[in-house]
Amino acid sequence: MAQKMSAAPKIVPDMAPVTQSDTILPLQYLRALAAFMVVLYHAFPQLQRMGVEGRDPVFLSSGVDIFFVISGAIMWIVSAKEPVPTGMAFLRNRIVRIVPMYWLLTTFVLAVALFLPKYLQSTTFEPLHALASYFFIPVTHPVQGNFTPLLNPGWTLNYEMFFYVVFALSLFLARANAVLRAALILLALGTIAALPLLVPVSGVAAFYTDPIIVEFAFGILVGIVYLSGRVPPSKAFYWLIAAGLGVLVLSHVLETHSNRLVTFGVPAFAIVFGALHLPKTQPGFLSRVGAELGASSYALYLSHFIVMSAMGQVWRMLHLHEKPFGLIGFVIVSSLVCVVGGLLLYWLVEKLMTRYFKSFGRARIAKPSAILVAVI
């Protein structure tokens, strides 16, 4: 059994820097697609400030749902390696991957809120809200009135960290038994999501019992099926992916957004399942580009809201939205700037920070006395 598990295809955690040889390429492509969908979704508020009217393209926000399913799948596949990580090791790896970049960009927003508040369009400084933003604690936003942190896209990380805690607890309770571990995770997420059906919930309780957390369970199921090897790769899964994307677009046409788990979560499940079961192809130039865009998706996801806001203000200041094709030009140019900015942030900052904190963690374990002396 150990030999079978160790021979499983390598995959890099959802927030990890990647190399071409270590990834399941279709998931990298999906990460890039999901991030770009969210970028396009957040272009619309800027267009509204330029006078555009109409319904938000809410279906584009389903990039978040795709991310959640990918996260569940990847966490399960990663945990299937031999040796299975301990709960603390799992959490430490997740923190190293996620926290440094998130804290860096949160601090940037905080600095703007303190010293250049006129450049913020939808937030302001409030001490408790700012402090909670750093520690993934949902606190009501002082302007928007929802559970959004200083760095707007960070609300999804509150769910991610919650899922990581549940996953780490499953490793603590059933590290050596994959079946029991999966059952514990699925039962925990399902029970939490079902609570509003049994008892009234509000505030933070309503936030954490949102059915969106079931999408992590969808990912776990995808990962289990993938590792079982019982579903052979097939080009037919391209149709499943296309169907999932079609349902997302159709949800916008029909305005069926009342149940996000159904209208976004189920199609996201189909898309990720299909991507993991496509036939392998020989990597080429386009696949390398896709892999790199997928690798930079976390930096893009966190930074795009800042970049898009800045681009919107510059566009309005220069009255470019009044020019012919000025609105579509904004969407194209601002989206490209966001993507390039995400790549630069990934290459120049995220990879270096991740490498540093990973090495710091190893040094801390290997030489605790040296770290203690350094601190003193």
pLDDT digits (tens, 9 = 90+) for 215-231: 999 999 999 999 999 99
Mean per-residue pLDDT, 367-374: 36
Query: 3-class SS at 18?
Result: coil
Reported as a pLDDT band with limits 50, 70 and 90, residue 363 is low
Q: Is the peptide bond before 83 cis (omega within 30 degrees of 0)?
A: yes
What's the confidence (pLDDT) of residue 55?
85
What's the confidence (pLDDT) of residue 146?
94
Reported as a pLDDT band with limits 50, 70 and 90, residue 2 is very low
User: Which of 150, 125, 123 shows the shortest CA–CA distance to 135?
Assistant: 150
- Written as one letter, the residue type at 118 is K
- Higher pLDDT: 281 or 270? It is 270
What's the confidence (pLDDT) of residue 22?
41
97-134 pLDDT, tens digit per residue, is 999 999 999 999 999 999 999 999 888 999 999 999 99
Calpha distance 359→133 (Å, rounded): 26
Reported as a pLDDT band with limits 50, 70 and 90, residue 364 is low
User: Between 351-366 and 87-115, two packed helices, what is the crossing angle to 10 degrees?
Assistant: 130
Calpha distance 133→106 (Å, rounded): 8
Are 190 and 42 in contact by the 8 Å Cβ rule? The answer is no
What's the confidence (pLDDT) of residue 362?
61
**Per the structure, how many domains does the chain have?**
1
Q: What is the span of the domain harbouring residue 371?
A: 2-375
What's the confidence (pLDDT) of residue 212?
97
Reported as a pLDDT band with limits 50, 70 and 90, residue 29 is very high
290-342 pLDDT, tens digit per residue, is 999 999 999 999 999 999 999 999 999 999 999 999 999 999 999 999 999 99
Q: Is the pLDDT of residue 205 over 80?
A: yes
Dihedral-angle region of residue 282 (phi above 0 means left; psi in -120 to 50 means alpha; beta otherwise): beta
Looking at residue 60, the DSSP 8-state letter turns out to be: G
Calpha distance 209→205 (Å, rounded): 6
61-107 pLDDT, tens digit per residue, is 999 999 999 999 999 999 988 889 999 999 999 999 999 999 999 99
Q: Tokens for 248, please give them.
A: 């997302």
Calpha distance 91→101 (Å, rounded): 16
User: Between 178-198 and 214-228, two packed helices, what is the crossing angle to 10 degrees?
Assistant: 160
What's the confidence (pLDDT) of residue 283?
82
What is the average pLDDT score of the chain?
89
* Cα dihedral: 102, 108, 110, 114 (round 10): 180
Burial of 115 (C-beta count, 10 Å sphere; 0-12/13-18/19+) = exposed
